[in-house]
Amino acid sequence: MSAELSLWVEVPVAILLVFGSLFALIGAVGLLRMKDYFQRMHPPALASTLGAWSVALASIIYFSALKSAPVLHAWLIPILLALTVPVTTLLLARAALFRKRMAGDDVPAEVSSRSMESGS
């Protein structure tokens, strides 16, 4: 399968792959530079998700041009990331907040429906 692709396909694919790798690198550097666990959660979640979208788009363009037909199954990866990363981030943040609360650290007060009902 040594089909030659036109420059109009190769250039956008190369640009998207470079952007995807830059976003992954930015997420990794952000992970290393942040001091607190809660600060460390944001760079990888945001930058890596955007990097995955770029790589998936590059994959779609490349394989669609190679097969001369739309190849869209690569969208499954960023769609699943878009659904699971926020949920995972929220659960990890709540678990870390719960551990800090149990350790007696200074954290924001717990917000629940019971405390709001008694305050009103």
Higher pLDDT, 119 or 74: 74
> Could you tell me the pLDDT band of residue 116, with boundaries at 50, 70 and 90?
low
Q: Any idea what DSSP says for residue 6? A: P
pLDDT tens for each residue of 52-87: 899 999 999 999 999 889 888 889 988 998 888 888
* Residues 65, 21 contacting (CB under 8 angstroms): no
**Amino acid present at 50:** L
Q: What is the pLDDT of residue 10?
A: 93
Q: What is the pLDDT of residue 118?
A: 57
Q: What is the pLDDT of residue 115?
A: 54
pTM, rounded to two decimals: 0.75
For range 101-116, the mean pLDDT: 75
Sign (positive/negative) of CA torsion 47, 51, 54, 57? negative
Q: Is 120 exposed, middle or buried (0-12, 13-18, 19+ CB in 10 A)?
A: exposed
pLDDT tens for each residue of 19-61: 999 998 988 888 888 888 888 888 877 787 888 899 999 999 9
Rg (CA), the chain: 21
CA dist., res. 25 & res. 15, Å (int): 15
pLDDT tens for each residue of 1-20: 556 788 899 999 999 999 99
Interhelix angle 42-67/76-103, rounded to 10 degrees, is 170
